[in-house]
Amino acid sequence: MTPPKNLEGEARKFWHRNAPILERAGLLTDADRDSFSLLCTCWAKLQDGAITDPMRFVALAKQVQNLMKAFGLTPEARKRLKITLEPDKPDEFGI
């Protein structure tokens, strides 16, 4: 699944790093695309350090954490969902 065109920078990197793993685990389908895109965008906002208001930062961090749990991206969520996420395996060229 390709990322939405509006994802850039850290959001796009997050997508490329996690989407293939989630797809293989059956946790990312076309129906989940918008929710996962929101997670990618929120993650990128946390990473850029532009949020200076502590209350807004905490609210965004909680939103990211909740979305990560929904997609099985925390150890607790994986245990609850009874899934194991495996990273991409290198191809025959080691990539």
Q: pLDDT averaged over consecutive 10-residue blocks of the chain (95 residues)? A: 95 97 93 97 95 96 97 93 75 60
How many CB atoms are located within 10 Å of the residue 34 CB? 10
Predicted local confidence at residue 53, as pLDDT: 96
3-state secondary structure labels for all residues of 2-64? CCCCCCCHHHHHHHHHHHHHHHHCCCCCHHHHHHHHHHHHHHHHHHHCCCCCHHHHHHHHHHH
SS3 86: coil
Predicted local confidence at residue 94, as pLDDT: 61
Predicted local confidence at residue 31, as pLDDT: 96
Predicted local confidence at residue 63, as pLDDT: 97
Predicted local confidence at residue 30, as pLDDT: 95
Q: pTM for the full model?
A: 0.86
